[in-house]
Chains A and B, each alone.
Chain A
Amino acid sequence: DIISTVEFNHTGELLATGDKGGRVVIFQREPESKNAPHSQGEYDVYSTFQSHEPEFDYLKSLEIEEKINKIKWLPQQNAAHSLLSTNDKTIKLWKITERDKRPEGYNLKDEEGKLKDLSTVTSLQPMDLMVEVSPRRIFANGHTYHINSISVNSDCETYMSADDLRINLWHLAITDRSFNIVDIKPANMEDLTEVITASEFHPHHCNLFVYSSSKGSLRLCDMRAAALCDKHSKLFEEPEDPSNRSFFSEIISSVSDVKFSHSGRYMLTRDYLTVKVWDLNMEARPIETYQVHDYLRSKLCSLYESDCIFDKFECAWNGSDSVIMTGAYNNFFRMFDRNTKRDVTLEASRESSKPRAVLKPRRVCVGGKRRRDDISVDSLDFTKKILHTAWHPAENIIAIAATNNLYIFQDKVNSDMH
């Protein structure tokens, strides 16, 4: 099924994917072993479960899709792993536990008929590893509009969920109520001009969070300032370039994803044509802007017709915040090195991804000199889009979701972050 979200856990040992059918598949990294040096560090399926089912809202005569919009891992606090998964309306907390022992022995008498010592009746015997997943909390009825993001707070007790117009704060242990912390719904819906597109808690400051809007702005909010954070603490907005104005200027400026850097100092945003790095200390404009596929700027009208212009691409930081990555069309994904200012375009496809093959950089030619392996803009396949990508928190391992295939690439040469 079509993969709709990809997320590494905090150690990178587990990788969770959600799909349109409401299923979650978790992969686990095999520990490196000397016996099979070539299979070290590969990801195998660890668990699969059905997270959400299609539902029907009888009051509004609406079907609620089971597609998993986001998965976020909770920091691990005991032997079990926990994650939050959400569809358009309901968030669920899942607990993933392993069972590798089973109690055996119930006979009170042994073979000779003698009563056994009660403490030896039952013992734990090893068994094949079984991964059990159970829903621990269901956070329902918190949202009128479609949930687009969830984010776990660094306090490990609360998390927030954002829909188009509101953001709610939940406690992980309390399912029957949540606090509304942002509400941008206008009194008259006719006055609506922007919606919330993504939101995230700051990685270290449990009182700060950011949300992005369809107008291309970011708002940093401080929960200590007020209970309702409608007034932002900081507004990050870049003035529009008037020379680029078109019918579709507003659509392409809508931010589809926002991610704090691991350091907490920067934010990364993705709009239709660019990725931008913002410094929390500078609201006037981003400090870096990278063109993902500017050659599409002249094709916006046909992309609008085909609905491609509404695609929501995600973006990702590497563990050291030195490289940023995002997806594009034709199963291409792009990486930008912030230090060297070099960028690369790679393709996630079966042909070019035989095990241990080295990915070859690709190039899209926009006229002018065309090299042999270049792809022309007109031959790009817009049905093959890479919307969801994830980067291992510590190593150079990336997970790329290409429609219904998951690719995991490792950089063996440069395994350590620098």
Chain B
Amino acid sequence: MEFKLEAHRIVSISLGKIYNSRVQRGGIKLHKNLLVSLVLRSARQVYLSDPCPGLYLAGPTGTPAVPPPQQPGEPVAGPPSGWGEPPPPAGRAAWPEPEPQPQRPMVCHTPGAGSSEPVTSVAGAGDALRGGETDSAAAAWSRVERPRAAASGSGSDTCPEGPRAVRRSCGCPPAREEQPVGDGSPAPPAPCPRKRGAAGVGGGRAGCPAPGSTPLKKPRRNSEEQPSTTDEDTDEEMETGNVANLISIFGSSFSGLLRKSPAGGREEEEAEESGPEAAEPGQICCDKPVLRDMSPWSTAIVAF
């Protein structure tokens, strides 16, 4: 158990380092970032191989709408300002890519994440993950919702209906004042929009959910994973302030971690779900079931 905590701590420190390296003078130092990513990989291996079952870390119910310079450790508590994201602003946990880069098709789930700040991906970062994010995003999405549901009412911006909010269209959340710009899109459940569509430019907006098979899968996944909600509720809240930001910024690291992620699914149900999603395009070449069905935090770990 201690190893897992230690590993978790190391992972959060490492992600913070990689993040801060972006703003360092002189550009990103390849050597240091490579070493940090190696540490991340080691920590991840420990984290994933630790048989301790209850420690399923979910993101706090805050929002990741803090600007990057802030402490990555701060649990984000406030609602993301003006984020009429259909997906409840379930913390940073959501699989990244609320990237305000219009030219990139994105899965955007994290309403607040990165949206209010000018988060720009490291050049090329995220490309490799883009496709795969859809899957993981969906999973992450569902994961994210559960803590929210459990903690509903904790944030004023939380969609009171919890998971169901996902199915609202963009701009539906009652607490929202602002609606995503391009919100004329139909209102299918929008957990995994493939493209930002019209709402894209604003960055991070779940905007127009893309039509596709993914939304249909969402409810199924939700229901399947509801039972395990209780597990996550009891999770400890590690401060993972800007994890989603970090992930979105870095995408896949250059240490080949993505390729080498361990084949460790968590629960059986996750394995079941790997089937239908296998068809989704653009998957990253790693253990898809593992990636897809992990908590966002774990996803972050895996990604690195």
Contact = CB atoms under 8 A, between A and B. Distances in A.
Q: Say if A and B assemble together.
A: yes
Contact of A250 (B13, B25, B39, B46): B39
Contacts of B30: 145-146, 164-165, 195
Interface in A39-87: 60, 62-65, 67
Nearest to B29: A146
Contacts of B43: 247
Interface string B119-132: 00001100010000
B271 to A, nearest CB: 26
Given A65-B26, A145-B30, A193 B42 contact: no
Given A146-B26, A164-B30, A192 B39 contact: no
Contacts of A314: none
A215 to B, nearest CB: 9
Contacts of B258: 190
A310 B32 CA distance: 7
Contacts of B252: 190
Interface in B40-96: 42-43, 46
A202 to B, nearest CB: 24
B253 interface: yes
Given A247-B39, A250-B39, A304-B10, A195 B34 contact: yes
Q: How large is the interface on A (under 10, 10 to 19, 20 to 34, 35 or more residues)?
A: 20 to 34
Nearest to A192: B254
Interface string A139-174: 000000110100000000000000011000000000
Contacts of B27: 60, 62-64, 88, 146
Interface in A190-208: 190-195, 197
B38 A250 contact: yes
A248 interface: yes
B253 A304 contact: no
Contact of B256 (A62, A192, A249): A192
Given A63-B26, A190-B128, A304-B13, A214 B253 contact: no
Contacts of B7: 247
A416 B231 CA distance: 73
B217 interface: no
B1 to A, nearest CB: 16
A84 B259 CA distance: 42
Contacts of A194: 34
Contacts of B26: 62-65, 67, 88, 146
A111 interface: no
Nearest to B28: A62
B5 interface: no
B254 A189 contact: yes
Centre residue among B7, B17, B25, B252 by max chain A CB count within 10 A: B25
B255 interface: yes
B119 to A, nearest CB: 15
B14 to A, nearest CB: 8
B35 interface: yes
B13 A190 contact: no
Nearest to B3: A247
Interface in B14-38: 17, 25-27, 29-32, 34-35, 38
Contact of B34 (A60, A62, A67, A192): A192
A346 interface: no
Interface in A223-258: 247-251, 254
A191 B256 contact: yes
B24 to A, nearest CB: 9
A301 interface: yes
A255 to B, nearest CB: 11
A305 interface: yes
B25 A190 contact: no
A62 B13 CA distance: 25
B191 to A, nearest CB: 27
Contacts of A67: 26
A265 B11 CA distance: 42
A373 interface: no
B238 to A, nearest CB: 16
Contacts of A64: 26-27
Contacts of B17: 307
Nearest to B257: A190
Contacts of A193: 34, 255-256
Interface of A: 60, 62-65, 67, 88, 145-146, 148, 164-165, 189-195, 197, 214, 247-251, 254, 301, 304-305, 307, 310
22 contacts: A62-B26, A63-B25, A63-B26, A88-B26, A145-B30, A164-B31, A189-B124, A190-B128, A190-B253, A190-B256, A190-B258, A192-B255, A214-B34, A247-B6, A247-B7, A247-B46, A248-B39, A250-B35, A250-B38, A251-B38, A254-B31, A254-B35
Closest 3 CB pairs of A and B: A65-B26, A62-B27, A164-B30
